[in-house]
Amino acid sequence: MTTTGFLIFLLVLVRMTGLFFLAPVFAHASIPAQVKAWFAFAATLVVYPIVSQIAVPVSVPGDVWEFALVIARELLVGLVVGYAALLVFAAAQYAGELIDTQIGFGMANLVDPSYGAQVTVIGQIHFLVATMVYLAVNGHHFLVGALVRSYNMVPMGQAALTPDLFRLIVMRFSELFKIAVRMALPAVACLLITEMALGVLARAVPQMNVLMVGFPLKIGVGLAILVLAAPGFVSYVHTVVGRLQEAIVMILGAMGR
């Protein structure tokens, strides 16, 4: 392997490492760091022959600082692709937290090993369901393929933090809340109607202890709606994962300007 070939291989490995550091499933905390490193190296061995044919030829950096800048730019591309995919799972988890607040599960938290933070019960269920849908539609394969195709839009060492990139990231954050509200809307709407019915019942029958009746009723209604809305939730997650390709293309296009 020539010096230029080794440099291309190293830069591909760096971009792939950035993806494996943040991408869903790949970056799960239960996977040891050594295994992630070997996965990134194995993926680089597979995609290197393809990338070497489509990548713009790169010159050997003249000094250490120039080389460090090239490494940082390549790492940034992988991190951005992984982060864009991670926002979908954050939206699903946030939707579950909205539902938990209405049901009354907000105080029952679990420790999420993937983030090392506390999450609610329904939020964790939504996260796991979104992960299964993501794997079922081969979303992890798509991310690796997107990283390979990214060399057509973001040549090696040419990634940049542009105003369009920040604008698209902010748009992804705003879409995160829209997606979360749509995922949680059926359960939250039904629970709101239940709350209103309990309020009317409390006024009509003052002798009844609405608090004692309300807690199990809201739990029952909330869980029933979650079961009934499960096919729609899975279908919507499938749609959101499908739209992820367009979002990543737009973000990569902004980085390559």
The confidence score (pLDDT) of residue 60 equals 62
d(CA 55, CA 116): 37
Look at residues 135, 112, 134 and name the one whose alpha carbon lies nearest to residue 125.
112
* Cβ-contact 23, 81 below 8 angstroms: yes
User: Which two three-digit tokens encode residue 217?
Assistant: 């009723």
Q: Which residues pair with 92 in a beta bridge?
A: none
Query: What's the rounded Cα separation, in Å, for the pair 70 and 86?
Result: 25
* pLDDT for residue 6: 78
pLDDT below 50 — which residues of the chain? none
What pLDDT, on a 0 to 100 scale, did the predictor assign at position 107?
A: 65
Supply the pTM of this predicted model.
0.80
Residue 35 near residue 132, CB atoms below 8 Å: no
Whole-number pLDDT of residue 242: 82
Q: Whole-angstrom Cα distance, residue 111 to residue 241?
A: 25
Contacts 24+ apart (CB under 8 A), 172-175: 172/84, 172/87, 172/247, 172/251, 173/87, 175/87, 175/91
pLDDT in tens, 219-249: 888 888 888 888 888 888 888 888 887 888 8
